[in-house]
Every structure is written in structure tokens, then in C-alpha cells.
């Protein structure tokens, strides 16, 4: 069985096109600690425990406050509020805060690598006449775009939509619709490929897209997040187009 009448293939970014190395330590924690190290070296005198507690509280407030469903404020907003809560008056546009966000990305980038099948797949898809794009949940959009560029996939993409740029994250319909509008393609003629059923698959299905789950790990699926197809590698997607 193959997909029919498809004009565009859209991809999730992390754990779909770009993979993250498996290490013993929590990578997110290592990134936050790198932010703290940078700040400590630039005049923010506070213990890591105090900084980490404030960071966690702010992150929870941002994502769990009433009316904040599926919003994705830029990481710098989160970081500025973290500093304000512990007595340092910096806003999201402060050079210090911007540079601290770069410190987060510098650490994360050490663990990100390209799936070896990504470029051959994108080349084949583009040469076959399909439009392509990325829809990613990430609160440092400039960092995600830099990774896309560094790993050589930017030139194979017709649109890139990052949640931190539009303050909406998957599975919000808005982020999918933004990408579809950029491409000028109807949802019924597009397929979305991602690794997370309740974020990638459910969101894409709600706007009427076809869906392919790339199985990177065991995931529970509901009826709303059940994909049209499941693959275990990127190269298998070609067999469905």
C-alpha cells in the first residue's frame, strides 16, 4: 500500500532527521548546567541549586499556567524570568541572556548528529517533485536552524517552522497549518513524518495530513495518535511514496 496524491513531505527534526546520542547523563541537565557555568563566569553569583530551582519553577509556570496550552515562548524568556526571580534584572533581549541561550546550544550540539539516511532520502524526495519541510518543537529556533544548516539539510527544505518562532508547538494545528500555507499545499496532499505519536502524529492527523511514525522507541498509541504507516528507518519512507 502506498500514499496517493501527495505533494509535500514534512518532517519532525529531533529524533527523526537529527538524532541525539545516548549518554549516561541527562543531556538536558548538562545543557542547563552549561548555561549556569556561562552565567557564573559573567557576574551571576548564585549557587547552581538556587538557579536550577528557579529555572524549574519558571519552566513549569510557562508551560502549565492557565491559557498557556501549546504555547512555546522563546528560551530567552524562560531564562530572563529565571534570573529575575533570583534577583538579577535582565530581560529576554539582554546580550547576556542571548549568549546564555547559545551556551545551551553549544552543549546540546555536542550530542546531535545526522541520520545517515536523511540526505539520500531528502535528495530522492526532492528529485521526485515533492515539496519538503521541517516542523519542530524547540524553544531556541535560531539554534535549531543552525543545526539544520550545519548538518547539510537546509538546501533540501522548502520551509522550516520552529515552535519558538511562532509561540505554538505541536500538536497545535497552527504550527502545521503555518507550514502547509508556506508550501501552498492542502493538508490532504501532505504527509508528516515524526517519532512521537501524541505530538507528531496526533497533531498532523487533526489538520487532515497523512502520517508516518518512525519508530525510534516503544510508544503507546491512542486512536487519535495512530499513524497511517509505521517505519523503522528513513529509507523505508521511499517505499510509501
In angstroms, what CA-CA distances link 134 with 34, 138, 235? 27, 12, 17
Domain boundaries, the chain: 8-19+113-240, 27-109
CA distance linking residue 221 with residue 213, whole number of Å: 11
Right CATH for 8-19+113-240 from 3.40.50.300, 3.40.50.10860, 3.40.50.1000, 3.30.413.10: 3.40.50.1000
pTM value is: 0.92
Strand order in the sheet with 159-162: 159-162, 131-136, 8-11, 190-194, 210-214, 229-231
Closest CA to 198 of 172, 231, 165, 160: 172
pLDDT tens digits, the chain, 241 residues: what are they?
788 999 999 999 999 999 999 888 899 999 999 999 999 999 999 999 999 999 999 999 888 876 667 889 999 999 999 999 999 999 999 999 999 999 999 999 999 999 999 999 999 999 999 999 999 999 999 999 999 999 999 999 999 999 999 999 999 999 999 999 999 999 999 999 999 998 999 999 999 999 999 998 776 666 667 899 999 999 999 999 9
CB count in 10 Å sphere of residue 127: 8
Closest CA to 181 of 8, 4, 5, 13: 8
CA distance linking residue 177 with residue 175, whole number of Å: 5
Would you state the cell numbers that stand for residue 65, as one nine-digit string? 499556567
Phi and psi at 143, nearest 5°, equal: -70, -40
Amino acid at each position: 500500500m502506498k500514499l496517493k496524491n501527495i505533494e509535500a513531505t514534512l518532517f519532525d527534526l529531533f529524533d527523526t532527521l537529527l538524532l541525539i546520542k545516548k549518554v549516561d547523563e541527562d543531556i538536558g541537565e548538562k545543557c542547563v548546567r552549561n548555561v549556569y557555568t556561562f552565567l557564573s563566569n559573567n557576574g551571576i553569583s548564585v549557587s547552581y541549586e538556587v538557579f536550577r530551582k528557579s529555572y524549574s519553577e519558571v519552566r513549569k509556570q510557562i508551560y502549565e499556567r492557565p491559557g498557556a496550552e501549546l504555547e512555546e515562548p522563546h528560551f530567552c524568556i524562560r531564562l530572563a524570568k529565571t534570573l529575575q526571580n533570583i534577583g538579577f534584572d535582565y530581560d529576554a533581549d539582554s546580550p547576556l541572556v542571548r549568549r546564555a541561550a547559545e551556551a545551551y546550544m553549544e552543549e546540546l550540539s555536542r550530542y546531535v548528529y545526522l541520520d545517515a539516511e536523511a540526505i539520500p532520502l531528502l535528495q530522492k524526495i526532492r528529485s521526485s517533485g515533492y515539496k519538503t519541510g521541517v516542523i519542530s518543537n524547540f524553544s531556541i529556533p535560531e539554534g535549531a536552524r543552525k543545526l539544520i544548516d550545519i548538518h547539510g539539510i537546509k538546501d533540501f527544505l522548502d520551509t522550516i517552522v520552529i515552535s519558538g518562532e511562532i509561540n505554538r508547538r505541536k500538536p497545535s494545528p497552527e504550527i502545521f497549518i503555518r507550514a502547509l500555507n508556506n508550501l501552498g499545499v492542502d493538508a490532504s496532499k501532505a504527509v508528516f513524518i515524526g517519532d512521537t505519536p501524541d505530538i507528531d502524529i496526533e497533531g498532523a492527523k487533526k489538520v487532515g495530513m497523512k502520517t508516518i511514525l518512525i519508530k525510534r522507541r516503544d510508544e503507546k498509541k491512542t486512536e487519535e495518535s495512530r499513524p497511517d504507516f509505521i517505519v523503522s528507518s528513513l529509507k523505508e519512507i521511499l517505499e510509501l511514496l
